[in-house]
């Protein structure tokens, strides 16, 4: 039964990926005029343009172009950066770990902190702790994340210069080993990761809080208490695990927004991830890179949703029988 469910989810994800591929193709090929890129070449003669058209495959039918595109993508041939002349895939591969580090750290802390605060607020509903936590999370939810990042820079890198204001490592320094280097990266990670966490914290807190409030009204919570369990244990062992389930779904659905935040946050901190890469590509009108990063972002969203489905399946026995 579970194997069938998994197969179905994988098939759906694969279908979505095909759709992503088509979407990406139409977005750039149909909406953007590829000849834009060709026009960058100064004084290209008509014959040269025709040759480039053929080289790019632009003289083929749309379907033919899409087939070419799909084939290229499957072999990870995303073209070459217009700026650096490096293969797009290489640039993406270099940038990917940094984004994973940033997004991963931010998500981890936001989930832990958000759930913990959400539980506290739900069990102290209506009181001052709850109100102040609500106000705080609403504020971070509404505030633009890049603004928060700049404020953090102002506070902790300029006014009280204890943390670096950008980049992932101190430039020009030779590290004596992997551990000092890792520590340097960690130091540079603090502000960007804090910004990322604050961006996500509000939503996670609100969802956990409302989820806990719902779960606490369920009969089984009273039953557990009736069997003689102390209230803290009822909350911890029975209410919280049930309340965490919507959080899994939420993190999947909001992953798209998280990636958007990665773009702006990496930009302000010069964090060399995919977001920063996109930003540079936007500034330089480097369309191959832009298309590549957008594709990776889309794939990321599909994978995140798949991962959340699997996680939910593992955590909720009711899904296993669906």
Partner 1 sequence: MTKLLSTARGRLSLSVIVFFALMAIFGPLLAPDDPRASSLEVLEGISLAHPLGTTENGSDVLSQLLVGARVSILVGFAAALISAALGTAVGLAGGYFGGWTDRLLDALENWFLVLPTLPLMIVLTRLLSPSLIVLILVIGLTSWAGTGRIVRAQVLTLRERAFVERARALGASDLYIVRTHILPNTAPLIFANTVLIIAVAILSEAALAFLGLGDPNSISWGTMLEHAFDSGAPSAGAWWYVVPPGLCLTVLVLAVALLGYLFEEQVNPRLQGRPA
Partner 2 sequence: MSPLLEVTELTVRHGAEAIVDGISFTLEAGEALGLAGESGCGKSTTALALLKLLPEGLAQSGAIALRRDGEEPVNVDRRTEAGMQRVRWRHISLVFQGAMNALDPVQRIERQLIDAIVLHEPVGRAAAAARAAELLELVGLAARLGRRYPHQLSGGQRQRVMIALALACRPAVVIADEPTTALDVVMQAQILQLLERLREELGLALILISHDLAVLAETCDRIAVMQAGRIVECGPVADVFTAPQHPYTQRLLATLPVIGSTRGGLSQSQSQEEAR
Binding site for partner 2 (CB under 8 A): 218-220, 222-231, 238, 241-242, 315-318, 321
69 interacts with partner 1 by CB under 8 A: no
- What's the closest the beta carbon of residue 32 comes to partner 1, in angstroms? 4
With CB under 5 to 8 Å by kind, the binding choice for 27 among partner 1, partner 2, none is: partner 1
Complex with partner 1: residue 192 or 238, whichever CB lies closer:
192
- Indicate which single residue of 268, 277, 289, 306 sits in contact with partner 1 (rule: CB under 8 A): 268
62 interacts with partner 1 by CB under 8 A: no
- What's the closest the beta carbon of residue 91 comes to partner 1, in angstroms? 16
240 interacts with partner 1 by CB under 8 A: no
107 interacts with partner 1 by CB under 8 A: no
Complex with partner 2: residue 68 or 316, whichever CB lies closer:
316
Instruction: Provide the mask over 273-302, with x wherever binding to partner 1 is found by CB under 8 A and - wherever it is not.
Output: -----xx--xx-x----xx-xx--xx-xx-
What is the 3-class SS of the chain, one letter each residue?
CHHHHHHHHHHHHHHHHHHHHHHHHHHHHHHCCHHHHHCCCCCCCHHHHHHHHHHHCCCCCHHHHHHHHHHHHHCCCCCECCCCCCEHHHHHHHHHHHHHHHHHHHHHHHHHHHHHHHHHHHHCCCCHHHHHHHHHHHHHHHCCHHHHHHHHHHHHHHHCCCCCCCCCCCCCCCCCCHHHHHHHHHHHHHHHHHHHHHHHHHHHHHHHHHHHHHHHCCHHHHHHHHCCCCHHHHHHHHHHHHHCHHHHHHHHHCHHHHHHHHHHHHHHHCCCCHHHHHHHHHHHCCHHHHHHHHHHHHHHHHHHHHHHHHHHHHHCHHHHCC
264 interacts with partner 1 by CB under 8 A: yes
Q: Which residues would be at the binding site for partner 1 (CB under 8 A)?
A: 16, 19, 23, 27-28, 31-32, 138-139, 141-144, 146-148, 150-151, 153-154, 157-159, 165, 252-253, 255-257, 259-261, 263-264, 267-268, 278-279, 282-283, 285, 290-291, 293-294, 297-298, 300-301, 305
């Amino acid at each position: 039964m579970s194997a069938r469910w998994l197969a179905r989810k994988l098939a759906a994800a694969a279908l979505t990926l095909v759709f992503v591929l088509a979407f990406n193709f139409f977005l750039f090929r149909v909406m953007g005029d590829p000849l834009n890129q060709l026009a960058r070449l100064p004084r290209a003669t008509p014959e040269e343009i025709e040759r480039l058209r053929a080289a790019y495959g632009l003289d083929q039918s749309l379907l033919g172009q899409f087939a070419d595109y799909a084939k290229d993508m499957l072999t990870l041939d995303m073209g070459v950066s217009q700026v650096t002349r490096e293969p797009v895939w290489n640039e993406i591969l270099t940038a990917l770990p940094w984004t994973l580090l940033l997004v991963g750290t931010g998500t981890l802390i936001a989930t832990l902190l958000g759930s913990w605060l959400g539980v506290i607020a739900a069990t102290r509903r209506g009181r001052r702790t709850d109100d102040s936590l609500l106000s705080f999370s609403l504020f971070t939810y509404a505030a633009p994340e890049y603004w928060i990042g700049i404020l953090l820079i102002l506070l902790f890198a300029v006014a009280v210069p204890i943390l670096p204001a950008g980049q992932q490592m101190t430039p020009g320094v030779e590290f004596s080993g992997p551990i000092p280097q890792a520590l340097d990266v960690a130091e540079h990670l603090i502000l960007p990761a804090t910004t990322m966490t604050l961006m996500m914290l509000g939503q996670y807190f609100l969802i956990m809080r409302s989820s806990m409030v719902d779960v606490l009204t369920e009969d089984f919570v009273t039953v557990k208490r009736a069997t003689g369990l102390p209230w803290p244990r009822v909350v911890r062992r029975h209410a919280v695990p049930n309340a965490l389930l919507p959080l899994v779904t939420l993190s999947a659905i909001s992953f798209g927004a998280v990636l958007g935040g990665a773009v702006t946050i990496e930009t302000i901190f010069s964090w060399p991830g995919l977001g920063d890469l996109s930003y540079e590509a936007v500034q330089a009108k480097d369309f191959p890179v832009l298309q590549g990063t957008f594709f990776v972002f889309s794939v990321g969203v599909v994978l995140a949703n798949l991962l959340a489905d699997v996680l939910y399946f593992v955590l909720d026995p009711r899904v296993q029988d669906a």
